[in-house]
Amino acid sequence: MTGQDPGPLIRLYGLTGGRARPQGETFDLVAIVTTVGGPHTLADLIPEYRAVLSVCRRPTPVADVAAHLRLPLNVTRVILGDLRREGFVTIERPRPVAQTIDEHIYREVLDGLRSL
Amino acid sequence: MDYAAYEPGATAVTSALAIKILIAGGFGVGKTTMVGTISEIRPLHTEELLSERGVGVDDVSGVESKNTTTVALDFGRITIREGLWLYLFGTPGQDRFWFMWDELALGALGAVVLADTRRLQDSFPAVDYFEQRGIPFVVGVNCFDGARRHDPTKVRRALGLTAHVPIVLCDVRDRTSVRDVLTTLVTYAVEGA
């Protein structure tokens, strides 16, 4: 097991000011996050926030951001809410699954699974 | 490695898509094992920290000194291609975390309800939950070592499932078996009954 060291976790809850909920509109665990802000103001950000922006230069689901950074999901969400408010990232609004999975994607998913 | 968002004139429009699949079932039925068997990453174990107020109906008797609670959440990932992923979320096993299911289930493609034939009743809450919300699900009967092979007809009857809900005998430790459960779910969810 990894992540047993409580030190970073405590520090991160300090980092989010103890907040357990992100600011603004709620977003899904697998909402796609995309970095949109330029790098010019990044120097002011603390490392975890910069790391999120680095990961999300490729559109990345929220859960994956947490995975990349080894951060708890709710800490990740607070950070993402902050970055969205500051205009550094966009977070996709949830879409009904019926609107997102067309025949083509369905085939891709099935083929992908079968090739595992 | 190029980053579209930094290219001049590039828009933030994403075609990326992450598809959510839930793995549900009673405590100890093999949800986390199933996620781990098929995930390309080691299943991530994270926790949602909740205030008592947020929990609402949570029974915190006996833990009066605690003003927060955590919900463990396991998830894994399968990359179909760049920009298309399946995420598998093991649902929290305890009934008191139902509210968390609502968030997990929102927008999910569907669910696998894992069942252990020795404790079929443990699967009732999950079956009820997905039926009531119209979320497509398949039942995976986890065949543990030494467990008898079970007749899907009997499982269907015991769980009160309608004829169209797929029942798949599986071994959550076996990659091919888990893959077959997922392909069954995806086909069922998209093509319907």
d(CA B134, CA B129): 9
Q: Which residues of chain B have pLDDT under 70?
A: 1-14, 45-72, 93-96, 145-149, 193
Report the gap between the CA of B158 and the closest CA in chain A (Å).
Answer: 30
Q: Which of A25, A26, A29, A111 to mutate to test the interface with B (most CBs of B within 10 A)?
A: A29
Q: Check CB contact of A92 with chain B, cutoff 8 Å.
A: yes
Domain-located, residue B5: no
CB contacts < 8 A, A to B, total 126
CA–CA distance from B151 to each of B115, B117, B130, B143, B167 (Å)? 13, 10, 23, 11, 10
Got the DSSP string for B115-129?
E-GGGGGGGHHHHHH
Name the residue among A28, A61, A109 with its Cβ closest to that of B80.
A109
Instruction: Identify the pLDDT of residue B54.
Output: 43
d(CA B170, CA B140): 6
Domain-located, residue B11: no
Q: Which residues pair with B76 in a beta bridge?
A: B88
Q: Which of B53, B80, B112, B175 to mutate to test the interface with A (most CBs of A within 10 A)?
A: B80
Domain-located, residue B10: no
CB B166 within 8 A of CB B184: yes
CA–CA distance from B31 to each of A90, B23, B150 (Å)? 32, 6, 19
Name the residue among A61, A72, A90 with its Cβ closest to that of B18.
A61
Whether residue A9 has pLDDT greater than 50: yes
Instruction: Identify the pLDDT of residue B182.
Output: 98
Whether residue A105 has pLDDT greater than 70: yes
Domain-located, residue B1: no
Domain-located, residue B12: no
Tens digits of residue pLDDT in B151-176 = 889 999 999 999 999 999 999 999 99
Nearest CA in chain B to A105: B84
CB contact under 8 A, A58 and B44: no
d(CA B120, CA B112): 14
Closest CA to B43 of A115, A66, A5, A52: A66
Name the residue among A35, A66, A108 with its Cβ closest to that of B80.
A108
Instruction: Identify the pLDDT of residue A69.
Output: 84
Tens digits of residue pLDDT in A55-87 = 999 999 998 898 888 887 888 899 999 999 989
Residue at token pair 């996050």: A33
d(CA A85, CA A23): 8
CB contact under 8 A, B106 and A60: no
Domain count, chain B: 1
Q: What is the mean pLDDT of residues A38-64?
A: 83
User: Where residue A110 falls among pLDDT bands split at 50, 70, 90?
Assistant: very high
Q: Domain of B91? A: 17-44+70-192
Q: How many CA atoms lie within 13 A of A40 on its CB side?
A: 3
**Tokens matching residue A12:** 């991160």
Amino acid in the structure at residue B69: T
Q: How far apart are the first and last CA of chain A?
A: 25
CATH at B141: 3.40.50.300
Instruction: Identify the pLDDT of residue B95.
Output: 61
Rounded to 10 degrees, the C-alpha dihedral B22/B25/B30/B35 comes to 0
Report the gap between the CA of B5 and the closest CA in chain A (Å).
Answer: 6
Burial A80-100 (b: 16+ CB within 10 A, else e): bbbbbeeebbbbbebeebeee
pTM flag (> 0.90): no
Closest CA to A50 of A42, A38, A61: A42
Report the gap between the CA of A85 and the closest CA in chain B (Å).
Answer: 16
Name the residue among A36, A58, A110 with its Cβ closest to that of B183.
A110
Residue at token pair 């467990």: B147
Q: If phi over 0 gives left and psi between -120 and 50 gives alpha, with beta otherwise, what is residue B8?
A: beta
- A100 contacts in chain B (CB < 8 Å): 17, 19
Domain-located, residue B124: yes
CB contact under 8 A, A72 and B48: yes
Q: If phi over 0 gives left and psi between -120 and 50 gives alpha, with beta otherwise, what is residue A18?
A: left
